[in-house]
Amino acid sequence: MTTTNHTYHGPLKLAVFDFAGTTVDYGCCAPAAVFIEGYRRKGVDITMAQARGPMGMEKREHIRTIGAMPAVAAQWQQVYGQAMTARDIDAMYEDFVPLLLAVLNDYSGLIPGTVETMRYLREYDILVAGTTGYFDEALEIVQTAAANQGYTPDFTTCATRVPAGRPAPWMIYRAMEALSVYPPAAVVKVGDTVPDIAAGLNAGVWTVGVAKTGNEVGLSEAELTALDSADVASRLTAAHQKLADAGAHYVIDGIDGLPAIIDQINERLAQGERP
């Protein structure tokens, strides 16, 4: 019996990006602030680290995951005399939606290097998809703001348009289907959170973590600039390590570092390597 070698040797054909912390909203600040405010309105104080922990997930699941943290669950029990229920999560999600929509435009500035990186991808005929853990209305605001600044993906989707958000691979697969791109080896997933990396690995694609501009450092460009160099270096090292430990094939500071990684992945593909 003869066998056929189906190893893909071609170049990358699709790059799938997260929005907040990767292409817009330097520091992934909008959702973190809203989660803190949402819990505060329920009489429960959460830290920025707790708010950011599940970042990248679908937002209802994000609320549930925060509420399941022992310290948060203990506060909730103290305030309400019982554990958080599914009805509580639904109510918090209903409050979260208008809170986020009210501030989203203020946090939708493009991260430096985004337009230039997209220009590079176009030059090499690499399609672009934008995905997010946000819901439909929030996606519409973000993608409109991004388009007004020169960033328009070929396809966009969000967690509420697929069976489950990250770490499930469905948004990546939806982009591949919509843009007629396969096999998974021809795709790279770029994002700033652990669920981003997990989704890419679950989809069988290449994964690139974004450290400096994203959730793991969690500071706006102005806040980061105000720090001394030693503090910046320490935060960056920790962010790089966390994304690498999550399984990212590569970790970069920001989106402007992606072109060099694309070249490296294409070299590996030409040699028959797979993600």
pLDDT band at 5 (very low <50, low <70, confident <90, very high): low
Residue that terminates a domain, selected from 53, 83, 106: 106
Q: Are residues 143 and 184 in the same domain?
A: yes
Residue that terminates a domain, selected from 106, 133, 162: 106
pLDDT band at 4 (very low <50, low <70, confident <90, very high): low
Percentage of the chain beyond pLDDT 70 is: 98
Q: Are residues 150 and 56 in the same domain?
A: no
Range of the domain at 180: 14-29+109-267
Please report whether residue 3 resides in a domain: no
74 neighbors 63 (Cβ within 8 angstroms): no
Taking the C-alpha atoms of residue 165 and residue 202, their distance in angstroms, rounded to an integer, is 12
pLDDT band at 146 (very low <50, low <70, confident <90, very high): very high
Provide the b/e sequence for 16-54 (b: ≥16 CB within 10 Å).
bbbbbbbbbbbbbbbbbebbbbbbeebebebeeebbbbb
Residue that terminates a domain, selected from 62, 79, 106: 106
The structure's pTM equals: 0.89
pLDDT band at 75 (very low <50, low <70, confident <90, very high): very high
CATH code for position 48: 1.10.150.240
Q: Are residues 87 and 136 in the same domain?
A: no
Q: What is the pLDDT of residue 6?
A: 75
Q: What is the pLDDT of residue 3?
A: 47
Taking the C-alpha atoms of residue 255 and residue 46, their distance in angstroms, rounded to an integer, is 30
Q: What is the pLDDT of residue 190?
A: 98
103-107, 156-160, 195-199: which range is least confident on average? 103-107
Q: Are residues 169 and 70 in the same domain?
A: no
Indicate whether 2 pLDDT > 80: no
pLDDT band at 1 (very low <50, low <70, confident <90, very high): very low
pLDDT digits (tens, 9 = 90+) for 34-60: 999 999 999 999 998 999 999 889 899
Q: Are residues 73 and 120 in the same domain?
A: no
Please report whether residue 6 resides in a domain: no
Task: Provide the annotated active-site residues.
Answer: 18, 59
Return the C-alpha torsion angle 214, 215, 220, 224, nearest 10.
-80
pLDDT band at 266 (very low <50, low <70, confident <90, very high): very high
230-243: average pLDDT: 97
